[in-house]
Amino acid sequence: MATTKKQAEVATIAADPFAVTAVPDYIKQGTTRGSEEVKSSDMVLPRLEIVQALSPIKELDPDAREGMLFNSVTQEIIGDHAYFVPVYFRLEYLIWKDQDQGGGFFGSFPTLEQAEERKNAEVKNGENPEYLEIVDTPVHYGLRITPEGDKEQIVISMAKTKSKVSRKWNAMIQIAGGDRFSRVYKISAFTDENKKGQKFKNFVVQPAGFPPKAVYDEAERVYAAFRSGEIVADHASAAPEKDAAAPADRGGI
């Protein structure tokens, strides 16, 4: 006996009551009621991350494979590549506690001096200084262009083993000339190897042309917000690398 459309809908709802993908007619679109007082400083930008061998997302999403890119906040698997318009670059100083000692994130700071002040304050509060590490982290703030042409604010952080990719990317941008957001870059991953011979997935950045006008205009609009520092990245969910070893680069949670 053939399954009717209604029976299929009932079966879907029974399995997952919120598995409706189409927006119901009663949901109003174009309004933001309830979020009137949410400011940029009340949110964090997701990171564009790489699925690594030990990334927890592999347990959450059976489609996640090493080398794929994903959104650290929504946990969306983006795929093997993404198109990204860099808007602003900042070197940030992040403080991490050794994972073997319980782990922990103690903030991101624009200068090494500020990071050291925070670290010293935590030591006075009882933290062992040997377990706290300040990691200088190149952060690329920008827009991801989705396959549908939408624009998504996101960041790419490139600490430790990824910093060499960051330096090459900055050189590419300087050679291209013009505003930082006047070019689109294709982001993907390749198998890299550290000094210990351990393999891991690292970023690949390739020029991909010029952004559409709507994307360029949006990049120009958010440039000031990125530069001001009022928008912060979702660094807290990232696990720092240990001795530049691949397994510890968990690619977020």
Query: How much is the average pLDDT of 7-14?
Result: 43
Asked if 226 and 141 touch (Cβ cutoff 8 Å), the reply is yes
Give the Cα separation of 197 and 68 in Å (integer).
22
Beta bridge partners of 207: 185
- Lookup result for tokens 């990691």: 135
Asked if 108 and 96 touch (Cβ cutoff 8 Å), the reply is no
pLDDT classification of 242: cutoffs 50, 70, 90: low
Give the Cα separation of 139 and 84 in Å (integer).
13
pLDDT at 247 over 50: no
Residue-wise pLDDT tens digits, 179-199: 999 999 999 999 988 888 888
pLDDT at 13 over 50: no
> What is the SS3 assignment for 109?
strand
Structure tokens, 167:
């330096």
Q: Which residues of 70-94 are buried (b: 16+ CB within 10 A; e: fewer)?
A: bbbeeeebbeebbbbbbbbbbebbb
Look up the pTM and report it. 0.78
pLDDT classification of 23: cutoffs 50, 70, 90: low
Domain boundaries defined on the chain: 39-90+139-248
Asked if 222 and 87 touch (Cβ cutoff 8 Å), the reply is yes
The percent of residues in the chain predicted with pLDDT above 70, rounded, is 78
Instruction: Indicate if the alpha-carbon torsion angle 103, 107, 111, 114 is positive or negative.
Output: negative
pLDDT at 204 over 50: yes
